């Protein structure tokens, strides 16, 4: 009989979000009359807006006609790739440097396959779990210790360093996972900080996987919305992004990666060529219907709708942040990000999660689930119906005392 993949055996038991769902179910079973409100997982809640939705509908209709039918589109529809380059990157990239996918999380998994098990890993701490867990599954990291996985360099992002890590900790020739606006902290790196990141990567022979999935929530025009606003980033960075949050496509699944032709391995080989080979081998492209919705999202009217949707969630975030601040809880995020990172000094994150659930019937996300530096923090998500967010804020105000 085939033996188990030893890399999966190295994973710490329980992926964060299914564990939260399990604890929510257990609480609901024990408290059947409780109306539970989720401010936890970052899943969008509002309907797809009319212009973008019409694009999805028209995309489906066309597939029912001889003239409009289309099959495999491995790298993505040319028009969508062209619009992404124009809207997000001011036309900086050719369409063959933009690869359409079924979401940035899926792209990160394929990128881990691209770089394989022999690469050193550096991650912001705390960080989105797939960076770490995927690295373990591919064999680039070993079993879990008390302070994290062996073989991964954790870059603590704390209140003391204003949530931007000490980059001197990064080893030469590492793959650096970096997310801004950050999930879970909500912190956004400024131009000077990202310049240091790029210069560090070039000096140390590293490649950055830059996760810009929340870039459309940035309202401060001085903050970069893409790593490619930084000089020479195309020589050291791959960017992944998604329609999930700005267009409400979490269930529709559409994203992209930018792999510049200027990006080379140490031996001069093309990263772009290898990524094209990987995607062509194991991926048959995103849904053509989803891509039609993406094209509509990047029309002038679609861009307005994405702005309106992200404004809606940012208003939710403001309500949550102001509620927590009135309770004397220190927090960041919620201004250029849909996440609020709340600090509970000296407290265990899972215990705080349990107390908020028991007292307020509100689901959050324990910070410890995002990495060692997340201990003592809880993440609040702004993705929710307005009435639910307002009710959750009222409950926090009336019942939360930790």
DSSP of 124-175: EES--HHHHHHHHHHTSS--EETTEETTEEEEE--TTTTT---GGGPPTTEE
Least confident of 48-52, 174-178, 253-257, 282-286: 282-286
- How many C-beta atoms lie closer than 10 Å to residue 223's C-beta? 18
CA nearest to 384, candidates 313, 302, 333, 322:
313
Average pLDDT on 208-221 reads 98
Band of the pLDDT at 143, cuts 50, 70, 90?
A: confident
Question: How many angstroms separate the CA atoms of 190 and 82, rounded?
Answer: 27
Question: How many angstroms separate the CA atoms of 77 and 235, rounded?
Answer: 26
Average pLDDT on 361-383 reads 96
Question: How many angstroms separate the CA atoms of 381 and 175, rounded?
Answer: 28
pLDDT value at position 168?
98
Let me know if 17 is exposed, middle or buried by CB neighbors in 10 A (0-12, 13-18, 19+). Answer: middle
Report whether pLDDT(146) > 80.
no
Contact 262, 97 (CB under 8 A): no
pLDDT value at position 80?
98
pLDDT value at position 253?
97
85: helix, strand or coil: helix
123: helix, strand or coil: strand
Average pLDDT on 286-293 reads 97
Band of the pLDDT at 356, cuts 50, 70, 90?
A: very high
Average pLDDT on 369-391 reads 96
Average pLDDT on 232-251 reads 98
The pair of structure tokens assigned to 141 is 């990291």
pLDDT value at position 18?
87
Segment 188-212, tens digit of pLDDT: 999 999 999 999 999 999 999 999 9
Kindly state the DSSP code that residue 98 receives in the 8-state scheme.
Answer: E
Contact 211, 108 (CB under 8 A): yes
Chain centroid to CA 225? 14
Report whether pLDDT(385) > 90.
yes
pLDDT value at position 187?
98
Band of the pLDDT at 42, cuts 50, 70, 90?
A: confident
pLDDT value at position 144?
84
For residues 91-117, one letter each, b for 16 or more C-beta atoms within 10 angstroms of the residue's C-beta and e for the rest, the string is eebebebbbbbbbbbbbbbbbbebbee
Segment 85-126, tens digit of pLDDT: 999 999 999 999 999 999 999 999 999 999 999 999 999 999
pLDDT value at position 17?
86
Report whether pLDDT(14) > 80.
no
Pairing mode of beta strands 37-38, 148-149? unpaired
Average pLDDT on 358-362 reads 97
Average pLDDT on 313-335 reads 97
pTM of the model: 0.96
Kindly report the average pLDDT of the chain as a whole number: 96
């Amino acid at each position: 009989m085939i033996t188990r993949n030893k890399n999966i055996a190295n994973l710490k038991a329980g992926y964060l979000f299914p564990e939260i769902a399990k604890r929510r179910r257990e609480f609901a079973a024990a408290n059947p009359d409780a109306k539970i409100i989720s401010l936890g997982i970052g899943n969008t809640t509002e309907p797809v807006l009319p212009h973008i939705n019409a694009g999805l509908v028209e995309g489906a209709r066309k597939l029912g006609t001889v003239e409009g039918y289309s099959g495999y589109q491995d790298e993505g529809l040319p028009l969508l790739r062209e619009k992404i380059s124009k809207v997000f990157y001011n036309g900086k990239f050719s369409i063959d440097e933009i690869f359409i996918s079924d979401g940035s999380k899926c792209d990160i998994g394929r990128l881990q396959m691209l770089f394989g098990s022999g690469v050193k890993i550096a991650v912001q701490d705390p960080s989105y779990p797939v960076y770490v867990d995927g690295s373990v599954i591919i064999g680039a990291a070993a079993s879990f210790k008390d302070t994290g996985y062996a073989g991964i360099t954790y870059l603590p992002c704390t209140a003391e360093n204003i949530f931007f890590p000490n980059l001197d900790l990064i080893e030469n020739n590492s793959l650096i996972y970096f997310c801004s606006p950050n999930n879970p902290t909500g912190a956004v790196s400024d131009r000077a900080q990202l310049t240091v990141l790029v210069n560090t990567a070039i000096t140390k022979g590293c490649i950055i996987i830059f996760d810009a999935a929340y870039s459309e929530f940035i309202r401060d025009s001085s903050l970069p919305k893409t790593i490619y606003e930084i000089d020479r980033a195309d020589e050291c960075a791959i960017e992944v992004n998604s329609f999930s949050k700005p267009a409400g496509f979490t269930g529709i699944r559409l994203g992209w990666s930018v792999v510049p032709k200027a990006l080379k391995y140490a031996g001069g080989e093309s990263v772009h060529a290898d990524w094209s080979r990987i995607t062509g081998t194991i991926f048959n492209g995103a849904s053509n219907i989803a891509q039609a919705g993406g094209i509509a999202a990047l029309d002038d009217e679609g861009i307005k709708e994405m702005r309106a949707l992200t404004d809606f969630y940012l208003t939710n975030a403001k309500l949550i942040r102001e509620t927590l601040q009135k309770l004397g809880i220190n927090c960041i995020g919620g201004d250029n990000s849909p996440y609020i990172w709340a600090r509970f000094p000296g407290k265990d994150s899972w215990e705080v999660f349990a107390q908020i659930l028991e007292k307020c019937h509100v689901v959050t996300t324990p910070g410890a689930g995002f990495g060692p530096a997340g201990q003592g923090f809880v993440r609040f998500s702004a993705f929710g119906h307005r009435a639910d967010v307002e009710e959750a804020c009222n409950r926090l105000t009336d019942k939360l005392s930790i």
